[in-house]
Amino acid sequence: MRLLSHRTSPTSIRLVLRLGVGAVALYASTLSAQAPNSASDSLTLKQAIAHMEVSRFVEAWVGRSGKLLAHFVAPSHALAVPVLSRLFGDEQGKWTPRIERMAGRDSSAGHAFTLIGMRNFEDKSADGYVGGYNMGFWPAERGHVRNAAYENPQGFIEVTPENQDLFISEHFRLRDFITHDQGDVWPKYVVLREELLDKLELVIDDLKEHGVAADHIHVLSGFRTPQYNHDLGEASGRADDSRHQFGDAADVYIDANNSGHMADLNHDGRIDMKDSKVILAAVARVEAEYPELVGGTGVYHAQGSHGPFAHIDVRGSLARWVRGGSVKRPKHHRRSVRKLHRSLTKKHSYAVRSAKGKKSSAHRSPA
C-alpha cells in the first residue's frame, strides 16, 4: 500500500516524517479495532493521516459545554478545511457522506467523538425529496427570507436504523431529532445545528447546579421537515417559518422518573406550566453567560399526556412567549409575557445587546 503520493498534503508528509510509518499504521489499526462494522473498518494509512490531522480541531468542536460528541461537516465547510475534503472524498475527490469515528476521543461514558459528513442541500430533488424521504420546501425556496437565519440549510445528516442511536452529545442521540412521520422510510434526513445541542447541554448543567434532576431530558419535537411542518396545520400553533425546520430548535421536557411526562421541577406538588418556567429561567442564565447562543424560548401548557414543555432555540435574537394551546388566553396575556420576560432576563439583557450590537426585545413568537 502506498503511503505517500503526489496528492499527499505537505502537512501529511510532515506528520509521517515526524511520527514514522509504523506509528501512523498503528493508529489506523487502533481506529479500525475501535469502530467495528463502520465506515472506518478498512481505514487506510491515508485516512489515518487525515484522522490525526483532524484531531487537533476536536477541542474546538466539543462546544462551550464540552459535551458535544459530533461535528457535522457540510461539503461547503470542508472546502475551508482541506483535510476534511480528503477525509470525506474518494479517490476521485468525490464527496462521500459518512460517519468517521475519532480514535482516542471517547467521552467519560465511553461514547466516541465522530465526524458526520452531510449530504448536499442540492441533493434534494425538484419535487422535494432526498432519496425516498419527503423533505418539502424551505421558505427561501419559495422566495420568503426574513433574514440570514432563514436561508436554506447547508446540508442533511443521513440517519439509518444502524446509526440512529449514535450519541451526538452527552445526553442526545441522532434519533432524538428525527421528524415524527414517514416511519417506514429509511434513510431519513435531519437538519441540526451544534449550537442547539450545546445550549441544551448547558441548560441541563445549569438546572443540575440549581438542584433540578435534569439528566433525563426528552425531546418532544426536534427537526421538522418543511413538509411535516406544513401538514401540522395552523391549529397546531406551528409557524410557517418554524425554527424547527432549520435544525436549531427543540421542544423539551424534563422526565426525571422516566414517567413519560414533565417532572415537578419546582417541587410544589403539581405538574403545570410553572415547571416549564423553571427551564425558561435556566435558559435565561445560560444566555446571560453565553449571549452568542441567544434565541427563543416558549413555555407551553399541557397539550398531551407528556404535560407542559418548553421550546428552546438558537435563532440569534431574543424572543419569549407563552402559549396555552387549547387553553383560552386571558386578556392580560401579552402583559404577563412581558412581565415574565423582564423578571427572567433583566440581568442578561445588556450582554445580549452588546453581542448583537443592537437592542434586544421580547415578543410573542411561535416556534
**Alpha-carbon distance 261 to 302, whole Å?**
10
Which residues, listed in sequence order, are joined to residue 322 by a DSSP beta bridge? Answer: 299
* Strand spans (E) along 43-143: 70-73, 99-102, 113-117, 119-120, 129-130, 133-134
**Alpha-carbon distance 93 to 271, whole Å?**
55
Check pLDDT > 70 for residue 5: no
Contact 79, 73 (CB under 8 A): no
Give the residue among 62, 55, 59, 57 at the shortest CA–CA distance from 24: 55
> What's the pLDDT band for 319 if we cut at 50, 70, 90?
very high
> What's the pLDDT band for 105 if we cut at 50, 70, 90?
low
Query: Model's pTM, two decimal places?
Result: 0.79
Check pLDDT > 70 for residue 162: yes
**Alpha-carbon distance 139 to 234, whole Å?**
16
Average pLDDT in the chain: 80
pLDDT at 78: 75
Find the range with the poorest average confidence among 68-72, 183-187, 253-257.
253-257
Give the residue among 256, 255, 364, 248 at the shortest CA–CA distance from 312: 248
> What's the pLDDT band for 172 if we cut at 50, 70, 90?
very high
Check pLDDT > 90 for residue 291: yes
- Nine-digit cell at 286? 445560560
**Mapping DSSP to helix (H, G, I), strand (E, B) and coil, where does residue 288 land?**
helix
**Alpha-carbon distance 179 to 189, whole Å?**
9
What lies within 8 Å, CB to CB, of 304 at 6+ separation is none
What lies within 8 Å, CB to CB, of 104 at 6+ separation is 30, 55
Q: What's the Rg (C-alpha) of the chain?
A: 22
Contact 95, 88 (CB under 8 A): yes
pLDDT 10s digits, 6-45: 444 444 444 433 444 444 444 444 444 544 444 444 456 6
pLDDT at 360: 41
Contact 179, 135 (CB under 8 A): no
pLDDT at 180: 95
